[in-house]
Amino acid sequence: MKSIILVALIFVLACSVAFASKPLRSKVGEPSMLKPGRCLLEVDGKKYISGSCRVDLAKGGSFQVYDLKKHGYFAYVNVNGNSAEGYWNEDPMATHAQSPLGTLTRNGACWQNDRAKVCAWR
């Protein structure tokens, strides 16, 4: 019985490593454009990402920023014309950016509103 449990645990671990090592994608079927850069993610006056990061650029100006300092934060800015919708993973253990930042407007390399600011520089 113990050997069956051990084999099951090894299988689960192997699967999780395999899926975790897959490259990020901008959209389904598109290869990632992940590049090193500098980023800022500020929410409610607190900086969650500031400095070195990875930036994933998509068509139309949308982008994603990823923390390099092992804190686990990331944010998405989905551009639609002159505005964008922002999302982030408020909980650093979360694997999806499910927390809305609201509608953002562009200011240079940043997209922001009264609550949040997301910036990316390369």
State pTM to two decimals: 0.73
Q: What is the Cα Rg of the chain in Å?
A: 17
State which residues form the domain around 105: 31-121
Does residue 78 sit within a domain?
yes
Segment 19-42 shows an average pLDDT of 62
72: alpha, beta or left? (left if phi > 0; alpha if psi -120 to 50): left
In a domain, 7, yes or no: no
Give domain status of residue 35, yes or no.
Answer: yes
Q: Is residue 103 part of a domain?
A: yes
User: From the CB of residue 115, how many other CB atoms can be counted at a distance below 10 Å?
Assistant: 14
Mean pLDDT of the chain: 81
Span 81-96, average pLDDT: 95
Mean pLDDT across 48-65 = 94
**In-domain check, residue 1:** no
Question: From the centroid of its chain, how far is CA 60?
Answer: 17
Give how many domains the chain has, as a whole number: 1
pLDDT at 97: 95
Q: What is the CATH number of the domain that holds 65?
A: 2.40.128
What is residue 98's predicted lDDT score, i.e. its pLDDT? 94
Phi/psi of residue 121, nearest 5 degrees: -130, 145
Q: Residue 28: which pLDDT band, with cuts at 50, 70 and 90? A: very low
Any domain includes 53? yes
**What's the pLDDT score for residue 15?**
40
> Is residue 17 in a domain?
no
DSSP conformation letters of 35-92: EEEEEEEEETTEEEEEEEEEEEE-GGG-EEEEESSSS--EEEEEEETTEEEEEE-SST
Residue 22 counted as domain residue: no
Is residue 13 predicted with pLDDT exceeding 60? no
